Amino acid sequence: MAVSACVALGACACGPESSKEDPAAKPSRPSASTPAKAPSVTSSAPPRTEKPSATPTGDQPAPRTKAGAIQRYEQYLHALGREDIDTVCEVAGPAAKKAEDQGLGPCTSTYATVFQMISPAQKKALQTATVDPQRVAVRTPVKIEMPVESVKSSATFSESDLGSYTLEYLENNWYITD
């Protein structure tokens, strides 16, 4: 149906948030042996840089494994079912950016249309959908394909209404890239 076309196109309308700099900020944290010397002077600025408010709901990056990619894709599916535009656009960022560069609107407006095309029964099913690891294809250590057949839910999805996706490990997390 048209939903998969919009989902595929919508997945291409926004980029990943590049404000995640926890790995860079963590090394600047004062060591446990120095707080007694100057806690009020040197420790006031670093905590602010290591905990940016733009971090989505405190989620940690997924491990660089097949299980990590599945976890991230399930996060996307559940967000799609809840109409959680921020999470959907964050996970689908690279693919969404490609679509936007090809003339589609930003992720938020594209997915607003996608949400309207998903039936209430499908939305409810997506909120608890899981992925069958046996149906997931590992192409490289950093590139994994999630065929529509891997989605297990109370509703049936096809290529035309959900589609298949490729996730790649970029910037310490899995993102939908195609």
DSSP E strand stretches across the chain: 130-131, 137-140, 143-146, 151-152, 165-170, 173-176
pLDDT digits (tens, 9 = 90+) for 73-92: 999 999 999 999 999 999 99
| Rounded Cα distance, 11 and 114, in Å | 10
Is-contact 159 81, C-beta < 8 A? Answer: no
Is-contact 146 40, C-beta < 8 A? Answer: no
The whole-number pLDDT of residue 75 equals 97
137 Cβ contact partners less than 8 Å away, ≥ 6 residues apart? 144, 145, 147
Average pLDDT, the chain: 75
The whole-number pLDDT of residue 22 equals 41
Mean pLDDT in order along the chain per 10 residues (178 residues)? 39 39 40 39 36 43 88 97 96 90 88 89 97 97 96 92 94 94
The whole-number pLDDT of residue 109 equals 86
